[in-house]
Amino acid sequence: MSAAIDVRGLRKSYGEKLVLDGIDLNVAEGTIFSLLGPNGAGKTTAVHILSTLVAADAGEIRVAGHDLHQSPEAVRAAIGVTGQFSAVDGLMTGRENLILMADLHHLGKQEARRRADELLEQFDLAEAGKKLASTYSGGMKRRLDLAMTLVGRPRIIFLDEPTTGLDPRSRHSMWTLIRELVAGGVTVLLTTQYLEEADQLADRIAVLDHGRLVAQGTAEELKRLAPGGHIRLRFTSPEEFTLAGQVLPTAVPNHEALVLQVPNDGSVHALRDLLARIDDASLEVDELTVHTPDLDDVFFAVTGQPKSEEVSA
Amino acid sequence: MSTTTTTTTTIRPMADIGTMLRRNLRHAQRYPGLSLGALGMPVIMILLFGLVFGDTFSAGLGGGAGGFDYIDFLTPGILLMSIASGTMSPAVAVCMDMSEGIVSRFRTMAIFRPAVLTGHVLGNVIVTIVSLALVVGFAVLIGFRPNASVGDWLLAAVLLIGLTIGLTWFAIALGLTSKTPEGASNVVLPISLLLPFLSNTFIPLEAMPSGIRWFAEYQPFTPIIDSLRHLLLGTPMDSSSGWLAGGWCLAIAVIGYFWAQSSYNKGTVA
């Protein structure tokens, strides 16, 4: 697969403050890539640079195969951006906003109206289409915003915190829309501070902290980075519990609850090993639960460290 | 990558400027406060100075029975004042626009880059032409009697529209430097108030105190008002003030345009 976005050594500082400190990114065509990080990590700056809004201080950037410094117009023609702050025109109706975008893409009068109505329908805004965008709720504004981004059928879409401030229902409907986009072959780079969101949507995740990429990989690969993955074994009889403690010497026992915590990365291989040992000793286990670390664990594990770690894919 | 070659970037300046102009006219229609203010103020000025203060000014300047018709003297200056006071609304509108996400969106799109600001300028030119027509209409109602040939009217129109374009670009450049719409409305005050008042709009240079007179003599509005008076009243034109007027319009337009564009593109990959 060829790269939709390829970045090497991206640096940017505002005055004294270093915002991006040598970032490398590679986003394959037709995938969702997530930049994950807390507020102030540099996510929005990265999106601004990749979408030609802000000039980088250093770095080689190719978007849709075009060098961003040499041919920004070619990059602009290939991308669509939905920023963190709603980029709709509040003094125009939803439909007029979409027609404005269509006009800027020179779709022609007929096609502009057809495309606007199609997107209003697709984004569940058909009824609201005649109302001024300033009267829309947060979720509606985001949907209109994304619909406007899609008018020109961009091949690469940047979504800067697309669900920040949305209620759970709007968030889920936004996730569905994003998944549908990628099913249509579009590449998505999305930033988020929600670990769950990156886990749900992204094929690959890069963790950004203080302008540096501290980890990169699939959600699964990142989860394996974090300590704390274990299997929890619960027993009913104290005898079995004691016996199990001897068979599994690395386990951490909880005598009152009759529970053993066995360190385990949760992979099938490690799980099969453990089950084999349980079988061999004919242990009566009442309940077995797998605890894989979630991205929260990963985040705390990797951002606490000054050194960057790369997961080989 | 196979898709690279299919990416076409044909920039269509006229189409994009037209789209932006339509957007700004729609704004004016949805949020008419700014434009109505720009239209109403000059009409109030011509009525106030023409009807209420006119006789007193005229008498003080030795006019009246002697054939000095104050409304004829006043109208060209008020036309410039309409242009000047009309620059406030695009400055504020541009500043408001820049704080909106939609302009960031425009900047990431493959559109003719000067289109966003040019749309604002053209929108204001249209509003100002309406305002100028209203002022001429009301001036004629209260006794303005121009004596100009068709050619003179055309030249006057060129001068007025040229100044409108120039001052609007300049005001937009000022608006772009402001962080808040309130700031934008203050930063254009020297154009919208100072230049029209400290010129020969209301009284001839000879009647001014020396310090102000010195300023009025060398600032751009005075030669433009002079030229306009000559054109509209049919008196012979002093060619140096004509060239000076045209030169000022051109200089203001060029400086305003490049300043505004560079502010708009500042820090981005242009």
Q: Are residues A248 and A186 in the same domain?
A: no
Query: Are B100 and A74 within 8 A, CB to CB?
Result: no
Asked whether residue B66 carries a pLDDT value surpassing 60, the answer given is no
Rounded to the nearest 5°, which phi and psi values hold at B76?
A: -55, -40
Q: Is residue B12 part of a domain?
A: no
In a domain? residue A99:
no
**Contact B52/A at CB under 8 A:** no
Q: Is A228 a residue whose pLDDT tops 70? A: no
Cβ–Cβ gap B100/A104 under 8 Å: no
Of B3, B10, B26, the CB nearest to A92: B26
For residue B81, the distance in angstroms to the closest alpha carbon of chain A comes to 29
A88 interfaces chain B, CB cutoff of 8 Å: yes
- Looking at the fold, whether A244 and A141 belong to one and the same domain comes out as no
Centre a 10 Å sphere on the Cβ of residue A135 and count the other Cβ atoms it contains: 12
Give the confidence band of B78 by pLDDT, cuts at 50, 70, 90: very high
Query: What φ, ψ does residue A262 adopt, rounded to 5°?
Result: -100, 120
CB contact under 8 A, B11 and A73: yes
Rounded Cα–Cα distance for residues B69 and B50 (Å)? 10
In a domain, A208, yes or no: yes
Is residue B220 included in any domain, yes or no? yes
* Contact between chains at A72 and B269 (C-beta distance less than 8 A): yes
pLDDT score at A250: 84
Q: Which residue of A has its CA nearest to B12?
A: A106
Residue A202 pLDDT: 94
pLDDT computed for residue B62 by the predictor: 62
Let me know if residue A276 belongs to a domain.
yes
The verdict on a CB contact (< 8 Å) between A29 and B1 is yes
What average pLDDT does the structure give for chain A? 88
Amino acid found at A249: P
B5 within a domain of the structure (yes/no): no
On the question of pLDDT at A230 being above 90, the answer is: no
Q: Is A151 on the interface with B (CB under 8 A)?
A: no
Does the beta-carbon distance from B9 to A73 stay under 8 Å? yes
Does A235 share its domain with A165?
A: no
- Asked if residue B225 belongs to a domain, the reply is yes
**A255 in the same domain as A215:** no
The total number of structural domains that make up chain A: 2
**In the predicted structure, residue B24 carries a pLDDT above the cut 90:** yes
Which residue range is the domain that position A257 belongs to? 228-292
Which of A292-301, B21-30, B184-193 holds the top average pLDDT?
Answer: B21-30
Indicate the length of chain A as a whole number.
313
Element (H, E) at B88: helix B88-98
Reported confidence tier of residue B7, pLDDT bands at 50, 70, 90: very low
Is pLDDT of A90 > 80? Answer: yes
pLDDT in tens, B231-263: 998 877 777 888 999 999 999 999 999 999 999
B214 part of contact set with chain A, CB < 8 Å: no
Q: With an 8 Å Cβ cutoff, are A81 and B27 in contact? A: no
Domain check: are A23 and A158 in the same one? Answer: yes
Both A62 and A144 in one domain: the answer is yes
Which residues on chain B are in Cβ contact (under 8 Å) with A78? Answer: 7
| Structure tokens given for A47 | 């999106």
pLDDT exceeds cutoff 90 at B81: yes
Please indicate, yes or no, if residue A202 is contained in any of the structural domains: yes
The helix/strand count (H/E) of chain A reads as 11, 14
Cβ separation A104–B31 shorter than 8 A: no
Same domain for A195 and A237: no
Contact A103 B15 (CB under 8 A): yes
The enclosing domain of A269 has a CATH number of: 3.30.70.100
Q: Are residues A252 and A211 in the same domain?
A: no
B2: tokens are: 């196979």
Cβ–Cβ of A73/B30 closer than 8 Å?
no
Contact B103, B175 (CB under 8 A): no
Q: What is the pLDDT of residue A261?
A: 86
C-alpha B248: how far from its chain's center? 13
A91/B27 Cβ within 8 A: yes
Q: Rounded to an integer, what distance in angstroms lies between the CA atom of residue B14 and that of residue B10?
A: 12
pLDDT of residue A49: 95
ipTM: 0.85
The answer to whether residue B19 is domain-embedded is no
Provide the pLDDT for residue B63: 56
Give the mean pLDDT of chain B.
87
Instruction: List, for residues A257-291, the tens digit of each pLDDT value.
Output: 899 988 887 788 888 999 999 999 888 899 998 87
Q: Please tell me whether residues A192 and A272 are part of one structural domain.
A: no
**What is the biggest distance separating any 2 CA atoms in chain A, rounded to whole angstroms?**
80
Q: What is the CATH number of the domain that holds A169?
A: 3.40.50.300
> What per-residue confidence (pLDDT) applies to B52?
82
Single out the residue of B163, B155, B154 nearest to residue B199, CA to CA.
Answer: B163
The domain boundary residue, chosen from A224, A250, A277: A224
CA-nearest of B252, B190, B185, B259 to B220 is B252
Q: How many domains does chain B have?
A: 1
User: Which of A74, A132, A155 comes nearest B9 by C-beta?
Assistant: A74
A111 within some domain: no
* B12 contacts on A by Cβ (under 8 Å): 106
For strand A66-67 and strand A212-217, is the pairing parallel, antiparallel, or unpaired?
A: unpaired
Q: Are residues A37 and A141 in the same domain?
A: yes
Flag whether A126 is in a domain.
no
Between A218-222, A302-306, B203-207, the lowest mean confidence (pLDDT) is in: A302-306
Q: Does A206 touch chain B (CB under 8 A)?
A: no
**Portion 23-42 of A in contact with B at CB < 8 A:** 29
pLDDT score, position A307: 33
Is the pLDDT score of A2 beyond 80? no
Domain that holds residue B76: 36-265
Same domain, A75 and A182: yes
Q: Which residue has the tokens 């249209």?
A: B126
Average pLDDT over residues A97-102: 97
Q: Which residue has the higher pLDDT, B2 or A132?
A: A132
CB B95 within 8 A of CB B176: yes
Instruction: Closest CB to A53: pick one of B4, B11, B108.
Output: B108
**Probe site for chain A from B22, B23, B105, B264 (most A CB atoms < 10 A):** B105
**One domain, residues A159 and A267:** no
Q: What is the pTM of this model?
A: 0.81
Residue A129 lies in a domain: no
- Give the gap in angstroms from C-alpha A74 to the nearest C-alpha of chain B: 6
- State residue A144's pLDDT score: 94
Residue B60 lies in a domain: yes
